[in-house]
Amino acid sequence: MYFHDKRLQYPVRVETPDPLFARQLQQAIGGVEGEIRVCLQYFFQAWGARGPSPKYRDMLLHTATEEIGHIEMLATAVAMNLENAPLTLQESAAEAHPIVNAVLGGERPRHVVEGMLQRHILSTGLAALPANSDGLPFDCSHVYASGNLAADMYANVTAEATGRVLAVRLFHAAKDPGMKDMLSFLIARDTMHQQQWLAAIEELGGAAALPIPNSFDQAQEKQEFSYVFLGSERGGEPPPAGRFTSGPSLDGNGSFSMRQNAPLGQEPMLGPAQPNSGAQIEQISAQV
């Protein structure tokens, strides 16, 4: 059960509408780094969370609900950047942002840039879309909910980290002070969310809970390969030395080592093709 408050979580102000920036904001809504992704990810992780303690389910539900508010803020920002904004503003914005112009205009066909504005006009009446900056609908392919709390928390750290990277890039691309203010808030929330998922990982055992899942008996895995870094330099050069090539493993269950990778399996030899499979006669009769 959820409740709605018609006030935004944080103020959204736009002094100078910018259709090009509206398009960029779409990535924060429906891109792989966007708020729809994390919102659904946290919800599905929560709805499938098992265990004697409900606090992780509750934490996920609280944060997923917060993310709905972030989608609302960004959708409002897109609509406000499109409000009463003629195409000439889009052109002037591109001139003011040479890097943005190269990425979103100069290196793309002009009709692609204008096409997104047309989608905002024709499909939504100058409002946001559940899509990325190219207008591709969000398809949930990057929603990760494994049923393993530790694995999900690591996935959440990655989601918030890439989301914060995007928000920082948008912050630097923004010229409107209201947009910078809104993004500074979203960046701060990404900071907190990274920290809370890492704190949950620490509570679940941190490195001592590795490898995931820790419920699998490591005696049943090929342990001679569990902590060895395999190099693949063509000339047989040794792998680069680092924390991951020597010393105790992070889980405390072994020691890192390194060696050149070498083939241990056989050369694959498949049987003949089946009749009526559409293969050549020579393949079916095994003459080649």
In what helix (H) or strand (E) does residue 175 lie, and over which residues does it extend?
A: none
Alpha carbons 176 and 16: distance in angstroms, whole number = 6
Q: What is the mean pLDDT of residues 126-146?
A: 92
Q: Are residues 198 and 237 in the same domain?
A: no
Q: What is the mean pLDDT of residues 86-96?
A: 50
Range of the domain at 222: 218-260
User: Where a domain ends, among 208, 240, 274?
Assistant: 208
Q: What is the mean pLDDT of the chain?
A: 88
Place of tokens 């972030």: 70
Structure tokens at 277: 């499979």
- Strand intervals (E) in the chain: 228-231, 247-248, 255-260
Question: Is residue 147 situated within a structural domain?
Answer: yes
pLDDT value at residue 100: 45
- CA distances in angstroms from 246 to 219, 233, 237, listed in the order given: 22, 19, 17
Using one digit for the tens of pLDDT, what is the confidence trace for 22-68? 999 999 999 999 999 999 999 999 999 998 889 999 999 999 999 99
Alpha carbons 249 and 228: distance in angstroms, whole number = 10
Q: Are residues 137 and 199 in the same domain?
A: yes
User: What percent of the chain clears pLDDT 90, i.e. is strictly above it?
Assistant: 70
| Per-residue pLDDT at 127 exceeds 90 | no
Q: Are residues 45 and 184 in the same domain?
A: yes
Question: Is residue 99 situated within a structural domain?
Answer: yes
pLDDT value at residue 53: 85
Question: Is residue 130 situated within a structural domain?
Answer: yes
Question: Is residue 12 situated within a structural domain?
Answer: no
Q: Are residues 135 and 199 in the same domain?
A: yes
Q: Are residues 171 and 141 in the same domain?
A: yes
Q: What is the mean pLDDT of residues 166-180?
A: 97
**Overall number of domains in the chain:** 2
Alpha carbons 213 and 161: distance in angstroms, whole number = 23
Question: Is residue 270 situated within a structural domain?
Answer: no
Q: Are residues 34 and 175 in the same domain?
A: yes
Q: Are residues 95 and 163 in the same domain?
A: yes
Q: Are residues 151 and 197 in the same domain?
A: yes
- Give the Cβ contact number of residue 100 at 10 Å: 18
Question: Is residue 287 situated within a structural domain?
Answer: no
| pTM given for the model | 0.85
Question: Is residue 265 situated within a structural domain?
Answer: no
Q: Are residues 232 and 107 in the same domain?
A: no
